[in-house]
Copies of this chain bind each other. A is one copy, B any other.
Amino acid sequence: MKICVLPGDGIGPEIMDQTLRVLEALRGDGVNFEAEFALVGGAAVDATGSPLPEATVKLADEADALLLGAVGGPKWDNYPRDQRPERGLLGIRKQLELFANLRPAILYPELANASSLKPEIVSGLDILIVRELTGDIYFGQPRGIREENGERVGFNTMIYSESEIRRIGKVAFEAARKRDKKLCSVDKMNVLETTQLWRDVMIELSADYPDVELSHMLVDNAAMQLVRAPKQFDVMVTGNMFGDILSDEASMLTGSIGMLPSASLNAAGKGMYEPSHGSAPDIAGKDIANPLATMLSAAMMLRYSFNLETQAARIETAVKKVLAAGYRTGDIYEPGTRRVGTKEMGDAVIAAL
């Protein structure tokens, strides 16, 4: 297990430190990894002039999985477009063909107060949104703004091929198999031919997964149902654009984005794992950042890239335990709980493993 570790910018390095300690603590339990550190984002720009140096590309290619902290910060906001920290991530996604974005929306009962929804609607929420990440209208050609009859006209192309739909569908069916075996595919088949094909391919694919219950929902209804009764869902799969909207909506249901991990996978199961939150430069280096989303990202890595389900679950259970025991970093603190720093939170999770 060769892991390319990308601490990145802002709070990235300190949340990564604690996450590596957790992985280290699992060595006795078959997590025999080798960590190689590489530069990405603003830190890479500062050191080499590029947000994705050649050495990082090489290590990313050789590694079995990538674990990322976070990138970006005001320091690099006005740099030229090809030196923006985010370009480093886009470059890795492209290089490794990471087409499957897995975005869990999980709300631990202890944190239910943080949600804008009523506790009984969201407490215990555990859904996984699988978003296609490299196709759809965000990348479709032709696109642009042209002159027509003396006025400007903007246009973009939504497009998906059968094989693109099939490969993301497989990831979603496999993920559903590892969970509650319920997959909801989201489309707009009553209006868009692209998503009619999407639905057709999902139905064809379902023949290979008789143990997974496939359902379909129109995107506008899905946006409603996530608000009305989000716990009805297990795994949802959808295209890049609908997935962009719905995964963000779903994550906000939890009210605590600082807790959410994510993964981007390719066809070989190789993936980049990272917290959904940003680099929070304002609190960097103060030992107050929440490292749990990065630890949960590492758990996803064990599950999806290394098939170490038991060890992944050990991390997740340890996180649940420390929350139940009242440990909170500042972002999720409530009166009556125990406020701890980044390193203390690491200690608590390791103790709970």
Binding site for B on A (CB under 8 A): 116-118, 121, 137-138, 140, 143-145, 148, 151-163, 188, 191-198, 219-221, 223-229, 241, 244-246, 248-249, 251-253, 255
Of the candidates B161, B192, B196, B245, the one whose C-beta lies within 8 Å of that of A151 is: B161
Contact B248 A223 (CB under 8 A): yes
The chain B residue with its CB closest to the CB of A151 is B162
Contact B252 A198 (CB under 8 A): no
Q: Give me the 6 closest cross-chain CB pairs, A-B, nearest first.
A: A154-B197, A154-B194, A224-B252, A223-B249, A220-B248, A151-B162
Contact A155 B223 (CB under 8 A): no
The chain B residue with its CB closest to the CB of A149 is B161
Cα(A193)–Cα(B153), bound, Å: 9
Residues of B within 8 A of A162 (CB): 151-153
Cα(A138)–Cα(B190), bound, Å: 10
Of the candidates B145, B225, B241, B249, the one whose C-beta lies within 8 Å of that of A197 is: B145
Using A152-B162, A155-B158, A163-B151 as known contacts, say yes or no to A193 and B117 having CB atoms under 8 A apart.
Answer: no
Cα(A255)–Cα(B225), bound, Å: 11
Contact B117 A192 (CB under 8 A): no
Using A227-B116, A228-B252 as known contacts, say yes or no to A194 and B156 having CB atoms under 8 A apart.
Answer: yes
Contact B157 A155 (CB under 8 A): yes
Of the candidates B154, B161, B249, the one whose C-beta lies within 8 Å of that of A227 is: B249
A to B CB contacts below 8 Å, 12 in the list:
A138-B191, A140-B155, A144-B193, A151-B161, A152-B162, A154-B192, A155-B158, A156-B193, A219-B244, A219-B245, A223-B246, A223-B249
The chain B residue with its CB closest to the CB of A158 is B156
Residues of B within 8 A of A140 (CB): 155
Residues of B within 8 A of A159 (CB): 153-156
Residues of B within 8 A of A158 (CB): 137, 154-158
Using A248-B221, A252-B227 as known contacts, say yes or no to A192 and B153 having CB atoms under 8 A apart.
Answer: no
Contact B223 A137 (CB under 8 A): no
A93 to chain B, nearest CB (A): 14
A168 to chain B, nearest CB (A): 14
Contact A224 B248 (CB under 8 A): yes
Most chain-B CB neighbours within 10 Å: which of A116, A121, A191, A251?
A: A116
Cα(A227)–Cα(B251), bound, Å: 10
Of the candidates B138, B156, B160, B191, the one whose C-beta lies within 8 Å of that of A157 is: B156
Residues of B within 8 A of A221 (CB): 248
Residues of B within 8 A of A163 (CB): 151
Contact B224 A156 (CB under 8 A): no
Cα(A256)–Cα(B115), bound, Å: 20
Of the candidates B117, B195, B196, the one whose C-beta lies within 8 Å of that of A118 is: B117
Residues of B within 8 A of A156 (CB): 157-159, 192-194
Cα(A350)–Cα(B81), bound, Å: 62
A192 to chain B, nearest CB (A): 5
Using A158-B158, A245-B223, A252-B224 as known contacts, say yes or no to A116 and B229 having CB atoms under 8 A apart.
Answer: yes
Most chain-B CB neighbours within 10 Å: which of A158, A191, A245?
A: A245
Residues of B within 8 A of A152 (CB): 161-162, 197
Of the candidates B117, B229, B245, B252, the one whose C-beta lies within 8 Å of that of A245 is: B245
Residues of B within 8 A of A144 (CB): 193
Contact A192 B246 (CB under 8 A): no
The chain B residue with its CB closest to the CB of A257 is B224
